[in-house]
Structure 1
Amino acid sequence: MKRNIKIILHLFKQFPDLCKIILGYCFRNLFIKKHYWLILERGVDAQDNAWHFFKYVKNNHPDVLVKYAIKKSSPDYFTNLEGYQDCVIEYGSVKYYFHLFKTSFIISTHVNTDMPSWLKGKLKNTCLIPKGKVVFLQHGIIHNDHKVLHYPLINIDLFITGAKREYDLISKIYEYPKGSGIIQYTGLARFDNLSDNHPKKRILIMPTWRMSYKNLNNSQFIKTSFYLNYSSILSDQEIQLKLKEKGYELDFYNHFEFQKFNHLFECFESKYIHILKFGTKRVQDLLKDANLLITDYSSIYYDFFYMKKPIIFFLPDQEEFREQQYGKDFDDPANFGIVALNDIEAKKLILDALDYNCPMDMKYKKYSNEVFPLADSYNCERIFNAINQLK
C-alpha cells in the first residue's frame, strides 16, 4: 500500500511535465516547421562542452538550425549566452518540448537530461520518446567503469571521447557493437579553448562530490571525512602565510552537487582564500588561470593535464570512494601528478609547489602527449563532422 501511495504521489508531482510532453508531441508540427539540432547540458548551465559546441556551430555553420536549452533563471543565461538569446529556449517549457519532438539531434553533455529521467523510463517504447539521434558530448573524460553507460543500458548514437586512452577503454569494456562507429575519439569540445592559457598565480582546489553524502544535512556533512580534510587545508595558517609571501591566491570550487554546502566553508575565506559559488566564474577560466590544481577523483584533471600544468591528487578516502561510487581508475593518478594520502602530505606538497612557483615535471608533460595525441583546436570540427555522418 505504501509503495502504491508513493508511486501515485510521484506521478502527481510529475503531472505538469507529462502534460507539457504530451502537448509538445501533439502540436509539434503546428508550431515547429523545421528540424533543429537541440543542444543542452543539465538545463541549468552553459559552461561545458555543449556550450562550446553550440557557439562553434553558430559561428561556423550558420546554415544549421540550432537551439540551446537552459532555464532562464540560470546565471549562465545572462552571461555566457549573451548575444545568442534568439537561439535559446526555456528548458522544460512547452516550447522546449515542441522542439524536442522536432529535433534531428539531441546533443548533450549528460545522458537522459532531455526530459525528466523518471518519466522517460515510464514512457519508454511509446510515441512520447523523442526520435532525434542522441549525441553524448560528455562533461569529462571517463577513467573508470561507469556501469550505467554500458551498452545497451542507454540509447546513444554517438559517444564522444576526449582522450585516446579513454577511447580504448570504452571500446574494450563498455560493450558497444564493434564496428558500429558509435564511439569516436574527437577530443572534447571545450579543449578548443585551452590554448590561450595564461596562469595568474592562483591555486585551484576542485574536488568531486560523494554520492553517499548527497542527502546529508549540514550537521552531518561537517562530520564527514570530505569536510574535515578540506577544511584542514583551507584553515592552515602556514599555507595562508606562504600564499601571501609568494603573491598567490587559492580558489576552492565545490562540485555542482555540493554547492549547497558552500556556506560551511565560508568561515575559511580570507584575502588569499576564496570559496567560489556556482555561476560566479566559468570553470574553464578557473582552470586556465590556475598554476596548480588540487583535486581527488574528478575528471577535470584531464583538462589541466591537457594544458601541461601540475596536479596534486588528494586521495585520503580512496577505498570508501571506490567502493561506493566509481570504482578503480584504469590509469594510475600517479601518472598525472603527485599523490597525497592525507592532509599532512597535501599541505607539504602545496607549500613545496609554492616555493618553486608550481613547476611540472617533464615526465608528466611527456605522458600528456601520449594521452592526447589530438592536442589541437579542431575538436569541435571533428565532433561536427561525426554528427553529420549520422544523417
Structure 2
Amino acid sequence: MKMKSISLKKVIMSLKYLLALVVAKKDKRDIWLISERPTQARDNGYCFFKYMRCQYPKKEVYYLIDKKADDYNKIKQYGNVIQFDSWKHYLYYCKSKIHISAHVNGCCPNDAIGISRRTKRILNFKDVFIPHGVSYGISEFCLKKYTDINLYICSGKPEYENIIENYGYSEDEVAYTGFPRLDNWKDKKVDYKLIVLMPTWRAYIAQNSSVYFMDTQYFIHYQELLNDDELSDFLENNDIKLIFYLHNEMRKYVNYFKTNNKNIQIAYDDREYDIQNLLKTAALLITDYSSVHFDFAYMNKPVIYYQFDQKEFYQKQYENSFFSAERNGFGPVAYEKKEVVDEIKKSLKLNFQMEPQFYNKMREFYRIYDDKNCERVYQAIEERLS
C-alpha cells in the first residue's frame, strides 16, 4: 500500500532534489534567489530584483518565474531569470545562500517544500521575508514558531514594533527598511477619473468548502454596492470609472459578481491590470482591511474603509493589534453602503486630496519616507546575513 502512494512525480522530484544537493555542496556560492508567486513579477520581489540588477550587476542575483507567464516579458530584460521548477531551479536553490520571497518557503520548487525544510541546516541558506502586505495585526502563519524566516522586512515603524512584540522574532531578525516597491511611487501619474474598490480576502470563506458564497455578507454587501443606484448616478454624472479588483484568494468567486453600471468594471482576470500600476494611477481607494491602504496612503492619496463585518473579521481571521481604522486609519470608516457613497462624494469635493489629519497619521506610521528602501533592504541582508 505504501509503494502505491508514492507517485512517479514525487520520485522524480526527490531524485532531482538529492542530485542538486550533492552537486551544490561542491559549489556553494553567494547566490541570492528572489521570487513572488511562480507566475508573477510585480511586487517587492520584482522591484528589489530590478534594483539589484541595475545597481549591483556583478552580484549573483536570480529571479524565479514561470517563463510562460505574462510577467516574464517585463523581467527578462534584466537577465538572470530561472524557470520555476526547472532543474536549474533545484540546483540554484541548493547552491544559493540567500532566499528572498513574499511567501514562506517561496523560493522552493513546488513539490520539494517538505524535503527542503529538513535539509535547510545542511544547505545553510537564509530566508528573507518581504511580505506582500503590511503586518499590522497578528498573522499566525508568519509567527517565528511556524517559520524558518531569518530576516523579516517591515514597511513602517509601528509594524516593526508589532513584529518584535507579537511574532517571536528577535531584533536581529527584523529590519525596518521600508518596502522596495515604495521607491517608485512618488513618480505617479494620477487619473482623477479612476477609483479602485479592492477588498481583502476572507479565509473563513475561501477555505471552507461548506460555505455557499452567495449567502455570505461579503458577497451581499459588495454586490449591493456595485449595483447601488446612487453610486451609479454619481459615477455617470462625473464621468468616473470604478474598478472592482478582488484579492487573489477570492478570485475564484469573481464570476458571481455582476453589475449593469457601465462606469463600473469588474476585473474578472487579474492579468487585466498590473496591481501596482493600478494603485499608482487611481485617485481614490476603497478597501476594508487590505494592507494596500498603507501603500496608497504613502502616495498621499485618500482612502475609504468599508468595514461592514468588522467584528467577524477580527474574530475569525486577523487578530488585531496596534492598528484600527478608527484610531490609526488614513481615511474615514464606513459601515453601511450609503456611508461609502457619501464619503466618495465628499472626496470628490476635496479633489481627491488626503485630508491633513489623515496625512499626519500616515507620516506617524512611515517615519522613513524616501526612495531608498531597496538600498536599505540590500544593506540589511548584507550586514545581517551575508
Report the TM-score when normalising by structure 1.
Answer: 0.89
The structure-2 alpha-carbon separation of the partners of 1:122 and 1:36, relative to structure 1 and needing over 3 Å to count, comes to closer
- Which residue is 1:305 aligned to? 297
Q: Indicate conservation of the 8 Å contact 2:284/2:302, yes or no.
A: yes
Q: 2:263 aligns with which of 245, 252, 272?
A: 272
Aligned counterpart for 2:191 among listed residues 174, 196, 200: 200
- Match of residue 93, structure 1, among 83, 86, 93: 86
Q: Do the aligned residues in 1 keep the contact of 2:304 with 2:333 (CA within 8 Å)?
A: yes
Q: State the Cα deviation string for residues 11-30 of structure 1 (Å, max 9, x = none).
A: 77644433432232233368
Task: Give the drift of 1:229.
Answer: 0.8
Structure 2 counterparts to residues 127-138 of structure 1, below 5 A: 130-138=123-131
Q: Residue 154 of structure 1 aligns to which amino acid in structure 2?
A: T
Deviations 1:251-287 (A, max 9, x none): 111111122222222x326542112221222111111
Partner secondary structure for residue 153 of structure 2: strand
Aligned to 1:324: 316
Task: Please tell me whether the aligned partners of residues 204 and 250 of structure 1 are also in contact (alpha carbons under 8 angstroms).
Answer: yes
Q: Secondary structure at the match of 1:135?
A: strand
Quote the Cα distance in structure 1 between the aligned partners of 2:122 and 2:223.
Answer: 45
CA distance in 1 between partners of 2:260 and 2:89 (Å)? 40
Q: 1:115 aligns with which of 108, 111, 116?
A: 108
Match runs of 1:1-391 below 5 Å = 9=5, 14-28=10-24, 34-78=29-73, 80-84=74-78, 86-115=79-108, 120-121=113-114, 124-126=117-119, 130-178=123-171, 181-201=172-192, 202-215=194-207, 220-265=212-257, 267-268=258-259, 270-276=261-267, 277-334=269-326, 335=328, 336-389=330-383, 390-391=385-386
5+ residue gaps, structure 1:
none
Select between 150-159 and 160-169 the one with higher mean Cα deviation: 150-159
Contact 2:201 2:250 in 1 (8 A): yes
Task: Kindly state the Cα deviation for residue 329 of structure 1 after the two structures are TM-superposed.
Answer: 4.2
Q: How many angstroms apart in 1 are the aligned matches of 2:346 and 2:224?
A: 17
When residues 116 and 251 of structure 1 are mapped into structure 2, their CA distance, relative to the original with a 3 A threshold, is: same
1:290-340 deviation digits (Å, cap 9, x = unpaired): 111111111111001111211111111112211221112421212321111
Q: Per-residue displacement from partner, 1:189-235 (whole Å, max 9, x unpaired)?
A: 00001111232021111111111222467992222111111111111
Offset of residue 355 of structure 1: 4.3
Shift of 1:153: 2.5
CA contact (8 A) 2:127 2:149 kept: yes
Instruction: Provide the rounded CA distance (Å) in 1 between the counterparts of 2:208 and 2:138.
Output: 26
Kept in 2: contact 1:239–1:351 (CA 8 A)? no
1:81 is paired with a residue whose SS is helix
1:175: Cα distance to partner? Answer: 2.1
The CA deviation at 1:46 is 0.7
Indicate if the aligned counterparts of 1:35 and 1:65 stay in contact, CA closer than 8 A. Answer: yes
Check conservation: 2:20, 2:94, Cα contact below 8 A: yes
What are the Cα deviations for residues 96-131 of structure 1, in whole angstroms up to 9, with x where unaligned?
A: 011100112101111122236885346543479743
Unaligned runs of 5+ in 2: none
- Shift of the 215–370 alpha-carbon distance from structure 1 to 2, 3 Å rule, reads closer
Report Cα offsets for 1:49-74 as digits up to 9, x if no partner. 00000000000111101110011232
* Alpha-carbon spacing, 1:177–1:33, altered in 2? closer, same or farther (3 Å): closer
Distance 1:252 1:126 in 2: 43
The 1-side partners of 2:205 and 2:9 are apart by 25
SS class of match (1:75): coil
In the alignment, the residues of structure 2 paired with residue 302 and residue 37 of structure 1 have an alpha-carbon distance, to the nearest angstrom, of 28
CA distance in 2, matches of 1:322, 1:137: 23
Aligned identity (percent) is: 34
Is contact 2:64-2:107 (8 Å) kept? Answer: no
TM superposition score normalised by structure 2: 0.90
Contact 2:25 2:123 in 1 (8 A): no
Residues 224 and 8 (structure 1), Cα distance of their counterparts in 2 relative to 1, 3 Å cut: farther
Alignment CA distance shift 1:105-1:221 (3 Å): same
In the alignment, the residues of structure 1 paired with residue 352 and residue 323 of structure 2 have an alpha-carbon distance, to the nearest angstrom, of 23
Distance 1:240 1:13, change over 3 A: farther
Aligned residues: 381
**SS of aligned partner of 1:159:** strand
Q: Over aligned residue pairs, what C-alpha RMSD do you find?
A: 2.6
